[in-house]
Amino acid sequence: MSVPLLSLRTAYCFRIWTATAAISALLGAAPAQAAVTLPKVFGNDMVLQSGEPLNFWGWADVGEKVTIKQAGVVLAVAEGKGSTTPWKVQLPAQKSGPVPDLEISSSNTLTLSNILAGEVWLCSGQSNMVMTVQKGPWCGYGGVLDADKETAAATDGTIRLFQAGKGWRVCSPETVPEFSGTAYFFARHLRAELKAPVGLLLAVAGGTAAERWTPARVLESDASFQSLKLKAKTLNEDPRLAEDRKAMEAWKKEVEAAKSAGTQGPAAPKLQLTPDQNFAAQDSAPVLTTGSLYENNIRPLAPFNIKGAVWYQGESNARRGELYASLMGHLIGGWREDWGTPFPFVVVTLAGFGKPEPWTPNQGSYALMREAQIQVARDVPGVGVVSATDVGEASNIHPPNKQAVGARAALWALNHVYKRNTVSEGPVFGEVTFSPGKAVVPVLKSGDGLHLKGPGGFELAGIDHNFVPATAELKGSEIEVRAPGVEHPTSLRYAFRNFPECTVYNGAGLPSLPFRTDRRPVDPAAN
């Protein structure tokens, strides 16, 4: 599912902005002094976006002249504005391939070397985007499929990754173990098809909600969000919550002490709040820290030229999936505002995980989250969605098949951004028709053929709204679905569960996205 890109690379608007002292410190700006300084994202081994004027900025004393040269030729001259306000220029577009050193000089001289120009993508999200090629001290849940084999084969030095605190790293068997698996396989697929260098800007944090990645400024005028924030404040300031948490922490320490001593631990304390009240407080907490990760991880990168972004996140929002589509619209709009261009944005659906049902009190609803992710691609221009639903594992929230995820995101980019004639999405369903005893699902687009890997994955319900596992049968370009006891079906669902069975694929091996014809509440607890 995607929306065509509309003039995404037209006149570039270079946004005027002022960094705070805290952000300047994060980026490497020194206190007021003569030396010119640059953001950390500009460094040796970096990849610059090819084919367009390049945004370049840094810090210098007020009035200090800063000269940027390449191969002895002056590309731009800037005037320092102090340690908290950046000077900014645009450098000429670079052709794909090696780039001559950049020399930035004032009272001091900085030289940036071993630079490439190619395709630059921002990769962000929570733990499934964090998950590294290999497991190690850097990531305890790392380790993709065939990790050792993938590591040994990672010899393409034109793939490079930037991460705050680690700088730019050139892909090699020594460095790739710490690369995000999804980001690396995305880059590898692009590299193979485009024959151009690929740079990755990685901004990730495990166990984080989308609210924290969203600029606070874009939510200030949203009345519904302000109402949520007020409720969240009330919930999280309830003194009973703090007392319960203190009691639980003390109890856990007593249990650990008893375990070490080989004695029976104490009974769990009786809490003042109900489980539902505790869940509500946990769910609302990210609303109170909106923008915190954005300020530290995304804003410092803007407006470094990028081709687009890949977003893999959502597990931490699964208990409030009905709010996710609107929230993501704000997030995407805020990021694009920072860069001054509506760059392409690829959303990865949540992988299957946990119990099959579409809602559990602890996990929430991955089904609703996927529905919201698909809706974002429908509603926001230049946004695409790719499925990771079928690569999940019931007992592993970090499935190792990141090769499929990265490749699918790359296929979307190749088709919609680079205009390559590639199949980039699974079979697309048309309007479902119901008749006595069956539902008929037309397939409008399949791409290299239509295949059912099995008869499952579908559910039917009648006027009683009781969904029953159904049997699917492929008939030409249609799928007929029947379920025992459902004589007059009125609603159909496909792969609409936390851990669903996915059976509908095309010849390119791409799955259909989950969908449903009803809009009934998934579970009263969800509200």
- What's the pLDDT at 279? 80
- φ, ψ of residue 252 in degrees (nearest 5): -60, -40
Beta strands in 329-380 (DSSP E): 345-348
Confidence of residue 232 (pLDDT cuts 50, 70, 90): confident
Q: Say if residue 25 is in the same domain as residue 77.
A: yes
Residues with Cβ within 8 Å of 3's Cβ and at least 6 positions away in sequence, in order, are 377, 378, 379, 380, 381, 382, 383, 384
Q: Does a structural domain hold residue 14?
A: no
Q: Which of 416, 436, 466 is the last residue of a domain?
A: 416
Q: Say if residue 268 is in the same domain as residue 154.
A: no
Tokens of 266: 């104490």
Q: Which domain holds residue 123?
A: 119-221+291-416
Q: Say if residue 51 is in the same domain as residue 179.
A: no
Residue 24: which of 89, 87, 91 has the closest Cα?
Answer: 87
Q: Does a structural domain hold residue 12?
A: no
Q: Say if residue 79 is in the same domain as residue 208.
A: no
The domain that contains 149 carries what CATH number? 3.40.50.1110
**Dist. CA 321–CA 367, nearest whole Å:** 9
The answer to whether residue 16 scores a pLDDT higher than 70 is no
Average pLDDT over residues 35-44: 97
Average pLDDT over residues 206-216: 97
Tokens of 471: 């049997």
Confidence of residue 233 (pLDDT cuts 50, 70, 90): confident
Q: What is the pLDDT of residues 391-413, one digit of tens each?
A: 999 999 999 999 999 999 999 99
- What's the pLDDT at 234? 87
The answer to whether 253 touches 333, Cβ cutoff 8 Å, is no
Confidence of residue 315 (pLDDT cuts 50, 70, 90): very high
Tokens of 398: 């970090």
- Helix 223-236 with 275-284: angle, nearest 10 deg: 130
Q: Say if residue 215 is in the same domain as residue 315.
A: yes
Q: Is 440 exposed, middle or buried (0-12, 13-18, 19+ CB in 10 A)?
A: middle
Residue 198: which of 114, 290, 97 has the closest Cα?
Answer: 97
Q: Say if residue 237 is in the same domain as residue 300.
A: no
Residue 115: which of 128, 134, 102 has the closest Cα?
Answer: 102
Q: Say if residue 350 is in the same domain as residue 213.
A: yes
- What's the pLDDT at 221? 82
The answer to whether 13 touches 336, Cβ cutoff 8 Å, is no
Q: Does a structural domain hold residue 15?
A: no
- Given the structure tokens 């900014």, which residue do they identify? 88
The answer to whether residue 324 scores a pLDDT higher than 60 is yes
Query: What do you get for the CA distance between the two ends of the chain, in Å?
Result: 27
Average pLDDT along the chain = 92
CA 312 to chain centre: 3
**Dist. CA 500–CA 456, nearest whole Å:** 10
Q: Does a structural domain hold residue 146?
A: yes
Q: What is the pLDDT of residues 169-207, one digit of tens each?
A: 999 999 999 999 999 999 999 999 999 999 999 999 999
Q: How many CB atoms lie within 10 A of CB 395?
A: 8
- What's the pLDDT at 25? 36
The DSSP letter of residue 93 is: P
Per 3-state DSSP, the chain is made up of helix, strand and coil in percentages (nearest 5) of 30, 25, 45
* 3-class SS of residue 427: coil
Residue 344: which of 123, 90, 50, 56 has the closest Cα?
Answer: 123
Q: Which of 115, 145, 161 is the last residue of a domain?
A: 115
Threshold 0.75, pTM exceeds:
yes
**Dist. CA 155–CA 117, nearest whole Å:** 18
Q: Does a structural domain hold residue 34?
A: yes
Q: Does a structural domain hold residue 326?
A: yes
Residue 56: which of 65, 67, 45 has the closest Cα?
Answer: 67
Question: Can you say whether the dihedral through the CA atoms of 105, 106, 109, 112 is positive or negative?
Answer: negative
Q: Which residues pair with 393 in a beta bridge?
A: 396
Q: How far is CA 302 from CA 18, 116, 433, 485, in A?
A: 12, 19, 48, 57
Q: What is the pLDDT of residues 123-142, one digit of tens each?
A: 999 999 999 999 999 999 99
**Dist. CA 45–CA 242, nearest whole Å:** 48
* 3-class SS of residue 459: strand
Q: Say if residue 146 is in the same domain as residue 234.
A: no
* 3-class SS of residue 14: coil
**Dist. CA 57–CA 34, nearest whole Å:** 16
Average pLDDT over residues 290-298: 97
**Dist. CA 373–CA 350, nearest whole Å:** 9
Q: Which of 115, 146, 162 is the last residue of a domain?
A: 115
- What's the pLDDT at 462? 97
The answer to whether 350 touches 386, Cβ cutoff 8 Å, is no
The answer to whether 523 touches 362, Cβ cutoff 8 Å, is no
Q: Letter for the amino acid at 440? A: V
Q: Say if residue 177 is in the same domain as residue 302.
A: yes
The answer to whether 422 touches 414, Cβ cutoff 8 Å, is yes
- What's the pLDDT at 157? 98
Q: Does a structural domain hold residue 13?
A: no
Question: Can you say whether the dihedral through the CA atoms of 22, 24, 30, 31 is positive or negative?
Answer: negative
Q: What is the pLDDT of residues 329-385, one digit of tens each?
A: 999 999 999 999 999 999 999 999 999 999 998 899 999 999 999 999 999 999 999
Q: Say if residue 159 is in the same domain as residue 73.
A: no
Q: Say if residue 515 is in the same domain as residue 400.
A: no
Domain count, the chain: 4
The answer to whether residue 51 scores a pLDDT higher than 60 is yes
The answer to whether residue 283 scores a pLDDT higher than 70 is yes
Q: Does a structural domain hold residue 7?
A: no
The answer to whether residue 156 scores a pLDDT higher than 90 is yes
The answer to whether residue 1 scores a pLDDT higher than 70 is no
The answer to whether residue 227 scores a pLDDT higher than 90 is no
198 or 448: which carries more pLDDT confidence?
198
Q: Say if residue 368 is in the same domain as residue 437.
A: no
The DSSP letter of residue 331 is: H
- Given the structure tokens 């964090």, which residue do they identify? 130
Q: Is the peptide bond before 100 cis (omega within 30 degrees of 0)?
A: no
Please calculate the CA angle 199-205-209 and round it to the nearest 5 degrees: 120
Average pLDDT over residues 28-52: 83
The answer to whether residue 4 scores a pLDDT higher than 60 is no
